[in-house]
Amino acid sequence: MTKQEQFLWIVQTTILANVIASQRDLADKWHQYSGVGVTGLMADAIFASERIPSELSVTEAADDFCGYVLWRDEGTERPELPLWFALG
């Protein structure tokens, strides 16, 4: 598998696991996990997968990406948008 494929595999699995773990709270967040919401997340993941810096491991890149896009804890500060993703 390429670095890009590994990244997408980790991100997709994390999003699916996040949906399962969030089932009790889905009534208020249904729009985030609808077909359109997940399609948007995966489009962002594909964009990010094409821009992973060579110095980042797949796991580090996936952690950066998922930490930002899946952040939902209003009681904590949102992680910063990874510059490698933002600047593309």
pLDDT at 61: 96
pTM as predicted:
0.78
Token match 């999003």: residue?
Answer: 15
CA–CA separation, 28 and 30 (whole Å): 6
* Confidence band, pLDDT 50/70/90 cuts, at residue 18: confident
pLDDT exceeds 90 at position 17: no
- Compute the mean pLDDT over every residue in the chain, rounded to the nearest whole number: 84
CA 49 from centre of chain: 11
User: Mean pLDDT over residues 58-68, rounded?
Assistant: 94
Contact 62, 14 (CB under 8 A): yes
Predicted local confidence at residue 35, as pLDDT: 67
Q: Where are the domains of the chain?
A: 3-87
